[in-house]
Amino acid sequence: MWPNTELQRPGCPAAEFQYRWTDRSMSNYAEEYFEALEALVGRREDSLNRVSGNGDDGLPHVYALFYKDWPHPGVLTAFTLGAGLGRHVRSLDAHVELVVSVKTEDLSWGLAVAFLAEQSRSHLEFDYGTTLNMQEPIAEGSAMTGLFLTPPHHWSQPPRLQVAGRTVVILEARPVYPSELECARAQERQQLLGILEGPTYDGGRPAISLTAQ
């Protein structure tokens, strides 16, 4: 599993983040994002983790907030915290945080999303159809190496949250195989978006058969 640090936030998360992050705006962002997610999910996260190492964009780290047995029993869901500090996405008129849901107990899936978000948030707009490539397996026992961003299947419409004065949209990071990443970069992107419209919790699902042109 990814080397990471598990943190415990106190009842007043702003105090926690003011000393962990020197950026004052991040402390407000974190506190308001925690509140927005609690309203969206219906409870607080089970754990808050940070991947060891960091990007070079000068922004605070991206964390993974894990929810066990959500939205269904046996499913582990992770939301990023900090991806939304990156680039404004023009097509969505918002900043973007990510969510991933896999039927597993392995935190690697959520940690990988946080890692890739931190590495790319300052130079890439996270939009429908955006791909993020790990170039190695995301989790042990899986051949999936990348992420494909789609509308989240958890809600009928992607949530639009108001966080620290900015609009934040939640997009889903779907784990995908190298062949699917290749197709997503070609003309099959819209077809792949349609196929991955519903829930796909299985990290060992068969690869989707598409041929890049």
pLDDT, averaged in runs of 10, over the chain (213 residues): 63 46 64 94 93 72 93 97 94 98 96 94 94 94 94 95 95 94 76 78 87 47
pLDDT at 134: 93
pLDDT at 182: 86
Q: What is the dihedral of CA 204, 136, 88, 192, to 10 degrees?
A: -40
pLDDT at 61: 82
pTM score? 0.88
Peptide bond into 178 cis (omega under 30): no
What's the CA gap between 155 and 29, in Å, rounded? 23
Indicate the burial class of 10 (C-beta count within 10 angstroms; 0-12, 13-18, 19 or more). Answer: exposed
pLDDT at 51: 78
What's the CA gap between 42 and 110, in Å, rounded? 20
